[in-house]
Structure 1
Amino acid sequence: KVGIGGGSICITRDQKGIGRGQASALLDVVRERDVYAAETGQYVPICCDGGVLNDYHMAIAFAMGADFMMLGRYFARFDESPSRLVRVDGQFFKEYWGEGSQRARNWARYDQGGDKLVFEEGVDGYVPYAGSLYENVALTMAKLKATLTSCGSTTLRSFHDNAVLVELSQQSYLQNTHEVQLRERPYDPGR
């Protein structure tokens, strides 16, 4: 599992001053995993824990070499999540809290002794409600398959082996839909 502080509800970096950028951490661990696999013949699957906000971040994590990922925020948004659906300022949200939050202290994962946490490593908040898990997972899978197809890959392994990762400038982001008034949003920016 790779990642400290990159999760959507994690504040470990702010509280402890540890952790690093998720992409840098993932790339470093994948490189060493691949060296280890070449030397020993043993492949160690890597979990990307953090840094996944939108569907395309999943594709990037797979391209970087992750085998699977933690998707707490992703799954917390759906009907099937056990948290309550609440209405805030006319919009629907699902409750969502981190393991290191005061709310989750009963599980004692971050037990610091005493009756309550001395400090928190996770926040307690809300994520935008997204409806049905079934429909949204199907959409996410369609996007991932389309990404692999656009990159000439039929497997995650070939996607990782052949992916060329480049850093985009701020101007690149501005070159998306521009100087066009959209009739409706083509996607949910919260995904």
Structure 2
Amino acid sequence: MSNEIEIGRGKRGRRAYSFDDIAVVPSRRTRDPKVVSLGWQIDAFQFEIPVIGAPMDSVMSPATAIALGNAGGLGVLDLEGLWTRYEDPAAVFEEIAALDPADATARMQELYREPIKDELITARLQEIRAAGVVVAGALSPQRTQEHYETVLKAGVDLFVIRGTTVSAEHVSDGAEPLNLKKFIYDLDVPVIVGGASTYQAALHLMRTGAAGVLVGFGGGAAQTTRTTLGIHAPMATAVSDVAAARRDYLDESGGRYVHVIADGGLGRSGDIVKAIACGADAIMLGAALARAEEAPGAGFHWGPEAHHSELPRGERVHVGTTGTLDEILFGPGTHADGTSNLMGALRRSMATTGYSDLKEFQRVDIVVSPYQAG
């Protein structure tokens, strides 16, 4: 059965769904939330909650990466961000928070022209390691070959290659593109790579040897990729498609499991619930954690797309402050809008629908039920 829709006589399009278009369905069984497990594991690393802090300057500093690690999650530091460009970026963060919206993009482009310093990459990663939590850092595909040796020498447990979209096949007339398969094969640490938003793109990334694939493309709160490039991937369909690629690759590879990590469009606890229900093993949070009192963005949120030197396709957005990181993750919730006690909401949804762990919850029934505000 095809779910293609005729756009016009010369073009047909596949119907795709966002998290707002779907809902999970209770089953005949319920559980006590206290017996529900939110733990997950990637490679040799076990985590108490399926939360990865997005490598974005407004979300992750060395201090917040440590705090998230101590809370049972994984913080990923952006190794191309302000923390590796400035010895003390506090004044830069204050300036960005105070910028007039009309001037924000141009000024941020200037601030991010400061060169990345290898010694700061080393210092920031060593600071996180000294705290005794899992160490993870991220580079874009364009910067990976330039800085990855520094990253590995500094000591990372997990390495993330993150871009708006990352492919296993990149064609270029300029510099030699990153050969993901050879690169991952030569590394001694697990690699998480993405974003990908289609079955075929994800399958190709899995074949490179990646331990995890990030699912998303322009779905985040601070991105304007759809407006700028006309590209968008509704997340419910994208996560489900990539989960299907994981299943097929498991058979193809003779049992190698690649983790699916939803990345984008996850600003509320209900979105997290539905991402796991669609097949995600874990979720990468940006805006949701940028609302923490400890977040370096001070109530503002932006990604690397917002200060791209040639084609900005994101912006600095005000997300406000909801509470401490601990309150956002574990409560007690003081907001009824899905911005606090995210893990409590996930645990209660799993208990209400009768599932005891994340892998089981991926089998929950889903209905298409578009949300109508008001």
Name the TM-score class by shorter chain: 0.7 to 0.9
Match of 1:127 among 316, 319, 339: 319
Give the letter aligned to residue 296 of structure 2: P
Residues 19-72 of structure 1 deviation map (CA, whole Å, 9 limit, x = unaligned): 321111111111111111133201100111111121011010001111112211
Q: State the 4+ residue runs in structure 1 displaced beyond 6 angstroms.
A: none
Matched residues, percent identical? 32
5+ long unaligned stretches in structure 1: 85-93, 103-109, 111-116, 175-191
The number of aligned residues is 150
AA paired with 1:165?
I
Letter in 1 for 2:328: N
Distance of 1:27 and 1:70 partners within structure 2 = 16
Structure 2 counterpart of 1:101: 306
Paired residue for 1:71?
A: 285
- Structure 2 counterparts to residues 20-99 of structure 1, below 5 A: 20-40=233-253, 41-84=255-298, 94-99=299-304
C-alpha distance in 2, partners of 1:74/1:96? 10
Residues 170 and 15 (structure 1 numbering): CA distance in 2 closer, same or farther, change over 3 Å? closer
Q: Are residues 6 and 170 of structure 1, via their aligned partners in 2, closer, same or farther at CA, if it must alter by over 3 Å?
A: closer
| Aligned residue in 2 for 1:182 | none
Q: Secondary structure at the match of 1:128?
A: coil
TM score, norm. by length of structure 2: 0.38
Q: After TM superposition, give the deviation of residue 169 of structure 1 in Å.
A: 4.3
The letter of the residue matching 2:326 is: Y
1:12 is matched with which residue: 225, 235, 244?
225
Q: Look at both structures and tell me which one has the larger radius of gyration over its CA atoms.
A: 2
Secondary structure of the equivalent of 2:318?
A: strand
The alignment partner of 1:82 has SS state of: coil
**In structure 1, distance between residues paired with 2:217 and 2:229:** 10
Partner residue, 1:148: 350
Unmatched tracts of structure 2, length 5 or more: 1-213, 331-340
Distance in 1 (CA, whole Å) between partners of 2:359 and 2:251 is: 15
Q: Residue type of the partner of 1:76? A: A
Give distance in 2, aligned partners of 1:4 and 1:142: 27
The root-mean-square deviation of aligned C-alpha atoms, in Å, is: 1.6
Q: Paired residue for 2:367?
A: 166
Partner of 1:29: helix, strand, or coil?
A: helix
Contact kept? 2:306, 2:312, Cα under 8 Å: yes
Task: Determine which structure has the larger strand proportion and give its number.
Answer: 2
Residues 139-187 of structure 1 show CA distances to partners (whole Å, capped at 9, x for unaligned) of 22211111111111101000102x111111457x76xxxxxxxxxxxxx
d(CA) in 2 for partners of 1:8 and 1:71? 11
In structure 2, the residue corresponding to 1:83 is in which secondary structure?
coil
Name the CA shift for 1:135/1:158 in 2 (closer, same or farther; >3 Å).
same
Judged with a 3 Å threshold, the aligned counterparts in structure 2 of structure 1 residues 170 and 67 are, in CA distance, closer, same or farther, namely closer
Identify the residue that residue 181 of structure 1 maps to in structure 2: none
Q: Distance in 1 between matches of 2:353 and 2:239?
A: 21
SS of residue paired to 1:20: coil
Deviations 1:100-141 (A, max 9, x none): 112xxxxxxx5xxxxxx2221211121021021112211222
1:101 aligns to what SS in structure 2?
Answer: helix
The separation in 1 between residues aligned to 2:310 and 2:316, in whole angstroms, is 16
Question: Within 2, Cα distance between the matches of 1:13 and 1:63?
Answer: 25
Instruction: Name the amino acid aligned to 1:154.
Output: S
Query: TM-score, normalization: structure 1?
Result: 0.73
The amino acid across from 2:327 in the alignment is: E
User: How far apart are the structure 2 equivalents of 1:118 and 1:128?
Assistant: 29
